[in-house]
Structure 1
Amino acid sequence: MRSLLAQGRREDRALMFLILACGIIFVAQWPALSRAAFEDPSVPFDARLGGALFGWLFWMPLLAYGLAGVSHLVARLFGGRGTWYSARLALFWTLLATTPAWLFHGLVRGFIGPGPAEQLVGAGLLLAFVTIWGICLREAEIAPETEAAA
């Protein structure tokens, strides 16, 4: 995180991290969507895929920008000195960094289905996401890119 902030403010890089992460997470949903379409053919796979595409590539980026803003405001309450950009970069980088876990979770949901394995992998994914995001956000709010670039 520190090296990303030291490279200066690059909105294009942050947006690329977000879109790439959302695209990979969308692909990670395919096995579970295929399983759900097989188990309940009343909603075809194409419709499920279209809904996931709309959610992950159109709505999630908007929600991620909002969540990054809220996290920055909360960090400011606790003495954070970062910028809006550094908070966005922390969240977007975390999404991208956890995509291997998202892919594994999607495979478990698709091939094994609901059960203890899915819950264990989901809990691991949540723990990894919260841990990495907390570390990145702490770094972004303690050493904002204006100081790191100097």
Structure 2
Amino acid sequence: MSVIRDILATYRGPVAVLRRRLSAGQREDRALAVLMAGCALLFVAQWPRLAREAHLKGTDLEMSLGGSLMALVFILPLILYGVAGLSHLIGRLGGGKGEFYSARMALFWAVLAAGPAFLLNGLMIGFAGPGPQSAVTGILALGAFLWFWLSGLIAVERGRA
């Protein structure tokens, strides 16, 4: 299945999509590609907000984009590798049967699959500015990410994925 179809299917059933992706075997190159694509989507989601802020404050957009690129594409992946490992170790303490790879894929796939929701949130902040509508889309995006990640992590630690 294509990545776009898998992302859409994740909104209906995140565990089934993660199970199908894990059935392809342990491929660290795929895990890294999924993570980098997700981080790139998060970076693109920041563009409308950064453009709005640069316009309103009269600052340089390129500097803001460079800082966001550094944070989201170079630093965030390193942090997410650590979070995935830590979440697996916590799952192990609770009797989990998963592997480090499956815990990584649960987190990395959640980042990529929630990307469209974060893109919507970025557009809302960029066009409407901060306010209740931006807060609602932000909460929905964060909720989608947490749902995808935690349901996938629980499934892999219970040995269902």
TM-score, normalization: structure 2?
0.86
1:114 counterpart residue number: 130
1:24: how far off? 1.1
4+ residue segments displaced more than 3 Å: none
Matched, 1:2 2:51: no
Aligned pair count?
Answer: 144
1:48: how far off? 0.2
- Give % identity: 47
**Mapping of residues 6-25 of structure 1, within 5 Å:** 6-25=23-42
1:80: how far off? 0.7
User: Any gaps of 5 or more consecutive residues in structure 2?
Assistant: 1-17
SS at match of 1:79: coil
SS at match of 1:54: helix
TM-score, normalization: structure 1?
0.92
Distance 1:11 1:137 in 2: 17
Deviations 1:93-137 (A, max 9, x none): 000110110100100010001000011111111111111111111
Task: Give the letter aligned to residue 21 of structure 2.
Answer: L
- 2:147 pairs, out of 123, 131, 145, with 131
Matched, 1:91 2:120: no
> What's the RMSD between the two structures over aligned residues?
1.1
Task: Give the letter aligned to residue 21 of structure 1.
Answer: G
2:85 counterpart residue number: 69
1:6: how far off? 1.5
Deviations 1:64-114 (A, max 9, x none): 101101111111111111111111000000001101101001000100010
Matched, 1:30 2:47: yes
- 1:56 pairs, out of 53, 72, 90, with 72
1:141: how far off? 1.3
SS at match of 1:29: helix
- The answer to which structure, 1 or 2, has the higher relative contact order (CA under 8 A, 6+ apart) is 1
